[in-house]
Structure 1
């Protein structure tokens, strides 16, 4: 099995929550933003909007080389959703991308990525993935 996006971005195993938490708290390298952008196949502006980061702030983070803790947390949030969607779709990353970007009625017409901009929305998407995995109709 290939490495998860979370482990690629944070350089720690997703199963090691304490190490992941430490990485988030100290701030991920800016390359984590770039890795997520490439994985989600979206541009800088689109990802910045999903992460609720202003362009000027993003430029400062790039120059410093690190994201702040709350920004790192958001990057990991989206990486985890990508990993979960990939697992749900039997490792088909292209299918996962299509699903993550497609508006869903169950999410009030938003795509899972749009809906996951907040922690609460992200939990909705994780719950939806769990329901689909267990065959619960949405």
Structure 2
């Protein structure tokens, strides 16, 4: 068995492929690698996934894949971060933006909206406006 986390190479526009990935579940090693890349700890994920830190620790201990409900949110956040880094060009600039109050997002930090699909969509839409130079 390989110790390297599974690399998901996917077309983010392919709904069937994403659906299959969600159904398989995100493996914990992949989750760990993603967490390190986007600088999220268990406390962050606990809030976004609506899981206790203890439950996340149990996934780690058992080295199991996340259930589809949680896998979907993990992949939504991953896609958002990929888009954000693409829009900002530099990961650190995007991370800073995610942690800065945004008037257009209701005067909250974009990062605070990642606990619902609607919030993720709102952040994604704001990235689209930034990408196209629409700041109103």
TM-score by length of 1: 0.82
Report deviation, 1:33: 2.2
**Residue segments in structure 2 that go unaligned for 5+ positions in a row:** none
Please give the root-mean-square deviation of Cα atoms over the aligned residues, in Å. 1.9
Q: Decide whether the 8 Å contact of 2:42 with 2:56 is kept in 1.
A: no
The equivalent residue for 1:14 is 11
Number of the residue aligned with 2:45: 47
State yes or no: 1:118 paired with 2:116: yes
Deviation at 1:14, TM superposition (A): 2.6
Please identify, of 17-26 and 66-75, the stretch whose mean Cα deviation from structure 2 is larger.
17-26
Distance 2:116 2:37 in 1: 20
Q: How much does 1:10 deviate?
A: 5.5
Contact residue 26 and residue 71 of structure 2 kept, 8 A: yes
CA distance in 1, matches of 2:6, 2:78: 8
Long gaps (5+) in structure 1: 1-7
Distance 1:111 1:104 in 2: 6
Report the counterpart of residue 94 of structure 1 in structure 2.
92
Matched with 2:78 is: 79
Deviations 1:79-128 (A, max 9, x none): 111111111112x1111111122221222222212112101111111111
Residues 24-56 of structure 1, C-alpha deviations (whole Å, 9 max, x = no match):
112110123212221121322222222222122
After the TM superposition, which segments of 4 or more aligned residues of structure 1 sit over 6 Å from their partners? Answer: none
The alignment of Structure 1 onto Structure 2 pairs a total of residues equal to 130
